[in-house]
Amino acid sequence: MDTKITILIVDDEASVRDSLYQWFVEDGYQVDSAESAKEALVRLESKDFDIVLADIKMPGMDGLEMLRRIKSLEKNPIVIIMTAFATVDTAVQALKDGAYDYITKPFDPDELSHLIRNASKQITLAAENDLLKEKIVSLENVEDLIGNSEAMRHLMQEISSIAQSNSSVIITGESGTGKELIARAIHANSSRKFFPLIIVHCGALTESLLESELFGHEKGAFTGAVYNRKGRFEMADCGTIFLDEIATIPPKMQIELLRVLETKTFMRVGGNKEISSDFRVICATNRDLKSMVDKGLFREDLYYRLNVITINVPPLRERTEDIPLLVEYFIKKYCHSMNKPTITIDAKALKRLEEFSFPGNIRELENMIERAIVVGDGKKIRLNDLPIGKESENSPFESLNDVEKKHIQFILNKYNWNISTSAKVLKVDRVTLYNKIKKYHLSPNKNQ
Amino acid sequence: MNPCKITLISFGQIEKPNLEIIARDVKRELQVQVEYKEGFIDMSQFFDPSRSQYDADQLIHLIDTEYASDTTKTIGLFTVDLFIEILTFIYGQAFLNGRSGIASSFRLNNERYGMNRNDRLTLKRFSKEIIHELGHTFGLIHCHTPGCVMMSSTYVEDIDLKSHQFCSNCKNELEMIFINNVKF
C-alpha cells in the first residue's frame, strides 16, 4: 500500500480493540482506537481517518448516534458498524444513516479482510475521482483560449453565458480558428463537465460509417459488425456531442439527425430498441450554412433546430494584437514538448508575423512556430526560421516588378549568367531576358 | 547464524518426527537456531463452551508470561480450534515485534473440509503458519507478494498458494532486523 489507510476502532471492550488493532497492524494499516463514541469524535476532530469501525452498543453514545454525528462532520470517513446481535432493523438503520456496511461479531477472518479491502478500494477510487474532477475544473479556465483582444474578450464572455444553457450551438469561423477549442470550453464550463464530450468529425466519415458512428450498431447489422457497439449519441449521455464540419452531413443523415435532436431517442443500426440519451449538441462549420439552406443543400428545419445560438470565431487577421500572446504560448508549448529551454522571438520576426494575413489562422501560426523551434538555433526565433521570412526581408508589400527582378537575378546568378540556360529555365527567349536585364539594371555582381 | 534462538513448544499431540520436520523448515527459512520441546497446559481453563473453541488471546498471554523469554522467540503449537473474541477462528497469532506467538493445526486438515486425510499437506500448512507467525514476532507485517509466506491467509487454500519462503523484500527486511540485532 503506497498511502496507508487509517482505521479508527471504536469499542468499549478492550479485548475487541486489542484484537482488531493487532489484526489490522499485521495487515499493514495505520490503526488507532477509542473506547467510547465521545473519545472517537474528539480523535476525528484532530486527525483524518479513512475508516471508522465502531461497535453499535456502547455506554453513553451508541454507534448509530456516533455515525450520525460523523456524517455531519466536514471529514467523511467510511463507517462500518459492528454488532453482536444483528437485527434487520439496526442494520437497515445503520445503512440508512450512511454506514458503508455492518458486520456481525464474531466475524469470519475472510469477511473482515474483504470488507476492509473493499472499503480501501472505495477510498482510493474516491480520491482518484476527486483528482480527476479537479483536473476537469481546471479546464474551466480555458487556458488554451489565448488572447486579450476585444474580439477574444467578447468571445470568452459569450462562452461563459452560453455554457450555462442547454441550447444547441453552432460555431462558425474559418478553418484553423479554434472552433473545437470553443466547443471544449463551452462543455468544460457547463454543468455537464463531469460527463463526456464526444467529438465527431463528420467530414471524415462516409454516409454509412457516419450512421453507425453516431447511432451505434447491433451485432450482425452489416458485414464486419461483429459486436454490438454504442454510438456517439449514446456515449454522450449526460454530456455534450460536438459535430464538427456539420455542413458535410449528407441529406439522408440530416433527416435522421433532426429526428434525434427533436426526440433525443434513436435506434442502433440493425436494432429494434429505442435508446434515449440526454446530450447537448454543439456543431461547427467553416461554411455559410444559411446560404446552403437557400441553395437547398442543407435542411432548413435542421438548420433552425441547430441554430439556437451562434458563435462566430474571428479569423486571426482580425485580432492581430493577440499574435504576440499566441506566439509566446506556442513557444512555451513546443519547447516544453520538445524538452528544450524556452526561447524567445526577435522583434523582426514577430513584426513579420503580425503583418502576415494567416489564411490558415491559428493552426498556421502554430505550425510556423513549431517549425521555427525545430529549425532554429535553439536560442531565438529569427526571421529566417519562418517560412514567410525569406521573401519578405525587404518589404512585405513587394510589387510584381520587384518579385520579377529578384527572381531573374536569382536564376542568372544560379547559372553563372549563362543567358541561354537562364532564358530556358525562365521560359522566355534570350531577347526578352536581355530586355529585362536592361530594365532592372541587373549585373553579375549584384546579390552574389 | 543469526544471533537469536527460536523455541517451539508443542502442547498437543504432535508426533516427534513431525516436530522435527517443522523445526527443520523453520531453521531453513530463518537461519536461526531452533529447539523444540513438549509442554503441558490444562486446556480446559481456556475452553469456551458457548463457542466450543479455545481462547487464543488467553493462550498467547500464557505463553508470553510463562514460557517466553527475552532471548528467544517462542511459538506455542496446538491442535485445538482457536478463536479470538471478534473472529470466528484463527490459525494462529503472534505479538508483532514481540517474543511469542501461537499456531494450531486444527483447521489445517483436509478432513475438516470433506476431503481425504493428507497428513503431509497438513504438516506443510502448519510449518508455513508457524513461520508466518514467527515473521510477525520479528516485526514483519502481511505481504502482498504472491507466494511469500507472510501473505495473509483466511482460507486453507490461501496457505497452499504460498510457499515456506519469505519474498526478497521480506528477506531484506529480516536481514536488516538481524543486522540491527533485535533484542530478545
Residues A123 and A98 in one domain: yes
Query: Are the C-beta atoms of residues B130 and B77 closer than 8 Å to each other?
Result: yes
Q: Which of A22, A26, A113 sits opposite B154 (nearest CB)?
A: A113
Blockwise average pLDDT, block size 10, chain B, 184 residues = 79 90 95 93 94 95 94 95 93 94 95 90 96 95 94 92 95 86 51
Same domain, A342 and A361: yes
Would you state the pLDDT for residue A359? 85
In a shared domain, residues A16 and A130: yes
Predicted pLDDT at A401? 81
Instruction: Write the pLDDT tens digit of every residue in A133-173.
Output: 777 665 555 556 888 888 888 988 899 889 989 999 999 99
With cell 508455513, the residue in question is: B128
pLDDT value of position A272 = 84
Closest residue in B to A1 (Cα–Cα): B144
**Nearest CA among A343, A351, A342 for reference residue A324:** A351
Q: What local confidence, expressed as pLDDT, does residue A273 receive?
A: 86
Please tell me which residue of chain A has the smallest CA distance to B144.
Answer: A1
Q: Please answer yes or no on whether A26 and B96 come within 8 Å at the CB atom.
A: yes
Which is the catalytic residue, given B29, B129, B133, B173? B133
Which tens digit of pLDDT belongs to each residue from B73-117?
999 999 999 999 889 999 999 999 999 999 999 999 998 888 888
Structural contact between residues A261 and A233, judged by C-beta atoms closer than 8 angstroms: no
Predicted confidence at residue A447, as pLDDT, reads 46
Chain A residue whose CA is closest to B138:
A26
Q: Which domain range does residue A351 map to?
A: 317-392
Contact A10, A54 (CB under 8 A): yes
| Span A11-51, pLDDT tens digits | 999 988 988 998 899 888 999 999 999 999 999 988 889 99
Last residue of a domain, one of A392, A408, A423: A392
Q: Which residues contact A162 (CB under 8 A, 6 or more apart)?
A: A169, A186, A309, A311
Note which residues in 99-128 of chain B have CB less than 8 A from chain A.
none
Whether the ipTM is more than 0.85: the answer is no
State chain B's mean pLDDT as an integer.
92
CA of B140 vs chain A CAs: smallest distance (Å): 8
Q: Check residue A1 and give its pLDDT.
A: 43
C-alpha cell of residue A215:
447511432
Closest partner residue to B85 (CB to CB) among A25, A106, A108 is: A106
Domains along the sequence of chain B with CATH: 5-179 (3.40.390.10)
A403-435 pLDDT per residue, tens: 888 888 888 888 888 898 899 888 888 889 999
Distance from CA of A132 to the nearest CA of B (A): 28
Whether B133 is catalytic: yes
Q: Are residues A290 and A383 in the same domain?
A: no
Specify the pLDDT at position B126: 97
Q: Do A108 and B96 touch (CB under 8 A)?
A: no
Euclidean distance between the first and the last CA atom of chain B, given in angstroms as a whole number: 15
Q: Which ranges of A284-386 does DSSP label H, i.e. alpha helix?
A: 289-294, 300-306, 323-337, 347-355, 361-375
Q: Quick one: cell of B117?
A: 486425510
In this complex, is the C-beta atom of A4 within 8 Å of any C-beta atom belonging to chain B?
Answer: no
Q: Does B58 touch chain A (CB under 8 A)?
A: no
pLDDT of residue A2: 47
**How far, in Å, CA of A259 to CA of A282, rounded?**
16
Q: Which one of A291, A312, A333 terminates a domain?
A: A312
Q: Domain of A407: which CATH number?
A: 1.10.10
> Which positions of chain A have pLDDT values less than 70?
1-3, 86-87, 136-144, 389-398, 445-448
